[in-house]
Structure 1
């Protein structure tokens, strides 16, 4: 069996438990005191939202990967942290008894302030499948810019709520392309292992995989990749694989096998709420204000920063405006959120000394999607797990790594579906539009073509070998490529350009960036493990030197 993209192997008998153990213990690598147990977290009462006039030592904007790492490590170092989250807490069941709705039956919980769904795969058999919903502060934001729609998680836990959980560490030989100013030795020896441990990463049991009906689609993907000479391998994930096996056996409530992923996963997935955020809350030093949106961060006369915050209701209306003082502020609103806020603050003169690299270096991680129509003797299964577990690696030869992705529509489709990450070189820039009072992004749909060409190095060859064709009914009428979106926004406040080499915003002591906006547009694989590991690296340095 070939090496998988994480650097491990997909051979039979490889234990997910050994993988987790091999990444190292959080206790062993953190070298920071003050951690309490998850059991203690239940005894900590829910804190009131931040109040106007409050003074906090550290304010973190966002609760995604970078922000959650910063909050936990700062709290373990004895520092009180308040986190501001634009989305909901997602801790209260709806009328159906579940917190999240399924991908097949989206309701108002599915989308951020939309009255109609905007599904990434928005056609089936050539017919549009989006439906009307009530306007609500739902979990998935499909944010439209010129030329591209950017999908982002909205809620405590950020993107971890809505992604497929593919926890991939880039191959070491590709790292200089990913983060050219960061020492790979420290990342692969310390921070990637720390991130994998903190996220609860594991690998599917290879023996169980062979017989699981929910992964027939992945086995077909393996067969077709192998016959065309492409390396295929298992890919780590943050899903609880023991729970997955019980789902298949019918002994627990189904989650990944019930079409849950795009709009949240109710049971098996280890989102940040269950890992970094749970540990941060357990310290007793971290509080979170959901449905709050930071509007401005300005230097305060007596030191620190004055932060203006809008409180929202579930219709997206501002119900209260609060002003607080923070000694230090960490921007962790994601690549788009952080970039938009910093570009606005620079252009409007609130933070005029931010350098001219702010807003630059944004990329889509080369995301393109496609489907293939298989022969009738190659069914992919009517039951498909929403959690992908494998990928095809043609990065070195063709510039593409492709997830063998599910198409969980509940019927047999005889289709193989793929999300490709490609070495697309195109980069966009955020800029302030004074006329509209908004931030624009200058991405062009045509800029996806290099990524399409790179993905074709895999799928043209597979189609030729198998005598199959591309599906043309999944993204429109007679449209092969899903070239209209990204799940993996990166860049906009690039490390060692817009910031110093640890995320400090030059010219403003006490302001930091600690999310995916630091990464210049591409990680060669799914990005969240790299975002987490980079945050672990940066916050350790900041605690040691700035605090």
Structure 2
């Protein structure tokens, strides 16, 4: 990671005139904050001023509006703020900064409550069954942290809250192999990505690797050691995978000296202690500049041109999902960073309803599921996987070149011995879907049958392991007598594909000062867990945009 210095921190090149033009339309405390001195004391005062500003006001005129607070939006907000630009971010989900009655911000995987799901009255867990019994349960309707959004042929899991998907993912921070990059982002210079932007993203995210010696002995990774042994016995390479978890904290969890988080199975509905979500990295830095204000529980309803700016209608929500206020804001620049599904749905609707009719025909195209498919295997009694399983995956089985599959060895943090090995595979699935507007809502035309290539690719690994070990697939995890979790994805990608729906830096075709800067830019597959690539691409694009468009 040779280049870890964030670009844009040196703002001396910004003229006073350009600086004032970029900040002069912020009202209230934003003006005062932008003029405060540099340095630690100045940053603290600016951050306090930004915190006091509150949610975005009706009638505000802002230089930049970022829709969403996930990886792409957080990168963009930080780098623009470091370049002296004031930024407003709106987030549909909650802030997730206030503990509940149990003293914790997030609920546990095994005890979902109103904090778990986005506006559902019953959980929709990826593993719907266990030992033949359905395990979903009734919960109060609330703006919870995990959205299980159902389309015709697939459930798309997404994070809801300040930090987006970083709140609910397993934190596996994987940079694709260099030889695979040309198929992921064919119009992007690989040398720049691997020499500059991937290192910058890994540094910004706080990526680290598990201590292999600790891994070899600690109880909570027995499941992963069984996965490694069985992979290697079938001549598959097992690779340690970088992650954004604080590994020193997890060592203390395992030793019992700090409150348990990953070792207590926290993952699906948020992690209370050790995971370095965006709230602790990019967003914390962005807030620290005093130039970024975030409005949670705010959902963008429309974006329309208004002279050289854009009129943005924003709905404020309560925790029951009701609209409590509607605000109209004028923004000089708008960044769509609501995630692959959120950005695609919004842009498709805006184009079809005549709000942004100049968007091109590529909007909504090129959507994929990163080839996600899940399965479990039933091990012999002499291969227990452990009662205590750390919820953070740390290794995978790489058969991408030969079989088109990379499988993370995933935990089953149930608190009991299951003798099961569990996997989330990323595969080279070629199928792509399209979002479209039906007059009342946006649909996605994905078909469950399109998962068959993913199943076939995953079988190149697990058929061989089962044959070698004399084991079988579990059939009780995804329904009754159902082997494959072929109904879901954690990794939505595409819908506003780079250099098709946009130019080669995310500027949306047909309009000035409209940008996509999230997973919607990536056409359906990254060969590994995608958030490092989303982050690195955002670092690349925002650097160019700051240099040329402000």
TM-score above 0.5, yes or no: yes
CA distance in 1, matches of 2:421, 2:56: 48
Is the CA contact (8 Å cut-off) linking 2:47 and 2:287 kept in structure 1? Answer: no
Cross-structure match for 1:135: 141
1:422 aligns with 2:437: no
Cross-structure match for 2:32: none
**Consecutive aligned runs of 4 or more in structure 1 exceeding 6 Å deviation:** none
CA distance in 2, matches of 1:153, 1:24: 30
Query: Which of 306, 318, 324 is residue 319 of structure 1 equivalent to?
Result: 324
Alignment of 1:80-91 (within 5 A): 80-91=86-97
Gap change, CA 1:358 and 1:88, over 3 Å in 2: same
CA distance in 1, matches of 2:176, 2:370: 13
CA distance in 2, matches of 1:471, 1:380: 14
CA distance in 1, matches of 2:182, 2:113: 43
Cross-structure match for 1:26: 5
Q: For structure 1, which runs of at least 5 residues remain unmatched after alignment?
A: 1-21
CA distance in 1, matches of 2:475, 2:123: 21
Is the CA contact (8 Å cut-off) linking 2:397 and 2:407 kept in structure 1? Answer: yes
Alignment of 1:143-542 (within 5 A): 143-300=149-306, 302-434=307-439, 437-542=440-545
Gap change, CA 1:110 and 1:37, over 3 Å in 2: farther
CA distance in 2, matches of 1:84, 1:493: 20
Gap change, CA 1:461 and 1:307, over 3 Å in 2: same
1:92 aligns with 2:95: no
CA distance in 2, matches of 1:493, 1:499: 7
Is the CA contact (8 Å cut-off) linking 1:36 and 1:279 kept in structure 2? Answer: no
- SS, match of residue 305 in structure 1: strand
Is the CA contact (8 Å cut-off) linking 2:47 and 2:289 kept in structure 1? Answer: no
Deviation at 1:507, TM superposition (A): 1.5
CA distance in 2, matches of 1:293, 1:415: 41
Gap change, CA 1:36 and 1:329, over 3 Å in 2: farther
CA distance in 2, matches of 1:23, 1:392: 28
Gap change, CA 1:417 and 1:469, over 3 Å in 2: same
Cross-structure match for 1:115: 121
1:69 aligns with 2:75: yes
Is the CA contact (8 Å cut-off) linking 1:306 and 1:324 kept in structure 2? Answer: yes
Cross-structure match for 1:59: 65
- SS, match of residue 403 in structure 1: strand
Is the CA contact (8 Å cut-off) linking 1:37 and 1:279 kept in structure 2? Answer: no
Is the CA contact (8 Å cut-off) linking 1:495 and 1:519 kept in structure 2? Answer: yes
Gap change, CA 1:235 and 1:50, over 3 Å in 2: same
Deviation at 1:506, TM superposition (A): 1.4
CA distance in 1, matches of 2:323, 2:5: 39
Is the CA contact (8 Å cut-off) linking 2:48 and 2:290 kept in structure 1? Answer: no
CA distance in 1, matches of 2:333, 2:546: 12
- SS, match of residue 258 in structure 1: coil
Q: For structure 2, which runs of at least 5 residues remain unmatched after alignment?
A: 13-37
CA distance in 2, matches of 1:440, 1:412: 41
Gap change, CA 1:278 and 1:411, over 3 Å in 2: same
TM-score, with length taken from structure 1? 0.94
Is the CA contact (8 Å cut-off) linking 1:32 and 1:73 kept in structure 2? Answer: no
Deviation at 1:46, TM superposition (A): 3.7
Gap change, CA 1:524 and 1:344, over 3 Å in 2: same
CA distance in 1, matches of 2:520, 2:5: 25
Is the CA contact (8 Å cut-off) linking 2:8 and 2:82 kept in structure 1? Answer: no
CA offsets, 1:454-485, max 9 Å, x none? Answer: 00000000000000000000000100000000
Deviation at 1:33, TM superposition (A): 3.9
CA distance in 1, matches of 2:412, 2:376: 9
Gap change, CA 1:36 and 1:378, over 3 Å in 2: farther
Is the CA contact (8 Å cut-off) linking 1:85 and 1:156 kept in structure 2? Answer: yes
- SS, match of residue 177 in structure 1: helix
CA distance in 1, matches of 2:5, 2:325: 39
- SS, match of residue 376 in structure 1: coil
